[in-house]
Amino acid sequence: MTVQVRLLLASALMLFTELLLIRWLGGNVLHLSYFSNIVLLGSFLGIGLGFLLARPQRRQRSFFPALLAGLVVLAPLLPGGVDRAGSDLIYFTAVATSGFPPVLTLFLIFTAVAAVMVGPGLMVAECFHELPRLEAYRLDLIGSLMGTLLFAVLSFLGAPPLVWSLLLAAAVLVLAPRPLALTIGWLLVSVLAMSSSLLTGDIWSPYYRIQVSESLFSSADGTTHPVVGISANGVPHQAIVDLDVMLANPSPASSPYPWCRSVWPGGRSAG
């Protein structure tokens, strides 16, 4: 593979990974629904560190696959949710949340994203040492646009994280230094972790991770009615219920917060 092709692929991988982390982490870590720029800032730091660590005429071993696998496996396990035990359901990461303090969660994500993005930054920077500067910048821009457009198309088509991770794994296998077996192992962990949303039936719209849950609502006269609750990126969003329930007297709409707590069982959303 020529250095020009390697730079195009590495730049595409770098931007593709950055967007992948913004979408994946935003759908699995509650606080990032409101502070997604934390992932962007962490990416900038990691890419910059990768450029600083690159050395002329030497390809360094990257721990990118292992760090990526660790992040996508552990991030969804971070405790955090919207606690609906009180009367206030409006959430902007400052009230009625569970789990770690938002500042700690955001700091952990920022640090982990920076560590992951060192790998793609290093791959791109090593190519810069082998090419004239203007040619390297031109190919870097083209590759970055390729990665961005590819992920935009996948998002528009509603492709699930399994598709994202398979494309990312293919690029890493082409670019990452050996040992091959270890790289494949860590990438397999990433693919399996990101495909877990298929088991839960999550829907990935162009913007959000949509989760649908079914429950029963007991009206004032004691009858039960099916309710479908919808969450976007772990935050309760809306519910679907029979019209006769809403038109009843008294109507659940007259006291929305207690009723909303009954729509999403468990008292808190998944974060």
pLDDT for position 80: 60
Between the alpha carbon of residue 74 and those of residues 71, 79, 109, the distances in Å are 5, 10, 10
Confidence of residue 143 (pLDDT cuts 50, 70, 90): very high
Residue extents of the structural domains in the chain: 3-201, 209-263
Read off the pLDDT of residues 71-88 as tens digits, 9 standing for 90 and up: 888 887 776 655 444 444
C-alpha 113/C-alpha 188 separation (Å) is 19
The SS3 call for residue 52 is helix
Residue 268 has pLDDT above 50, yes or no: no
135: DSSP letter: H
Confidence of residue 188 (pLDDT cuts 50, 70, 90): confident
Percent of the chain whose pLDDT exceeds 90: 26
Read off the pLDDT of residues 163-177 as tens digits, 9 standing for 90 and up: 888 888 888 888 876
pLDDT for position 233: 80
Highest mean pLDDT among 30-34, 103-107, 129-133, 150-154: 150-154
Confidence of residue 94 (pLDDT cuts 50, 70, 90): very low
114: DSSP letter: H
42: DSSP letter: H
Q: Write down the mean pLDDT value for the chain.
A: 78
Between the alpha carbon of residue 114 and those of residues 16, 67, 103, 249, the distances in Å are 15, 10, 16, 55
Residue 5 has pLDDT above 80, yes or no: yes
Confidence of residue 93 (pLDDT cuts 50, 70, 90): very low
Read off the pLDDT of residues 205-247 as tens digits, 9 standing for 90 and up: 888 888 887 777 666 667 777 778 788 887 777 777 777 666 6
Q: What single string gives the DSSP state of each residue in 189-200?
A: HHHHHHTHHHHH
pLDDT for position 86: 46
- Is the N-terminal amide bond of 120 cis, ω within 30° of 0? no
What are 232's strand-pairing partners? 210, 235
Average pLDDT over residues 191-215: 79
C-alpha 62/C-alpha 118 separation (Å) is 8
Residue 97: CB partners within 8 Å, gap ≥ 6?
A: 30, 80, 81, 82, 83, 91
Q: How far is Cα of residue 100 from the mean position of the Cα atoms in its chain?
A: 19
- pTM of the entire structure? 0.78
Look at residues 27, 21, 79 and name the one whose alpha carbon lies nearest to residue 45. Answer: 21
Residue 182: CB partners within 8 Å, gap ≥ 6?
A: 65, 66
C-alpha 256/C-alpha 88 separation (Å) is 10
The SS3 call for residue 5 is helix
C-alpha 87/C-alpha 65 separation (Å) is 44
C-alpha 101/C-alpha 115 separation (Å) is 22
pLDDT for position 8: 94
Give yes or no for a contact between 67 and 116, defined as CB atoms under 8 angstroms apart. yes
pLDDT for position 101: 72
Give yes or no for a contact between 43 and 121, defined as CB atoms under 8 angstroms apart. no
Look at residues 96, 119, 91 and name the one whose alpha carbon lies nearest to residue 35. Answer: 91
Give yes or no for a contact between 22 and 39, defined as CB atoms under 8 angstroms apart. yes
C-alpha dihedral, 92 to 93 to 97 to 98, nearest 10°: 160
Read off the pLDDT of residues 254-264 as tens digits, 9 standing for 90 and up: 555 455 555 55
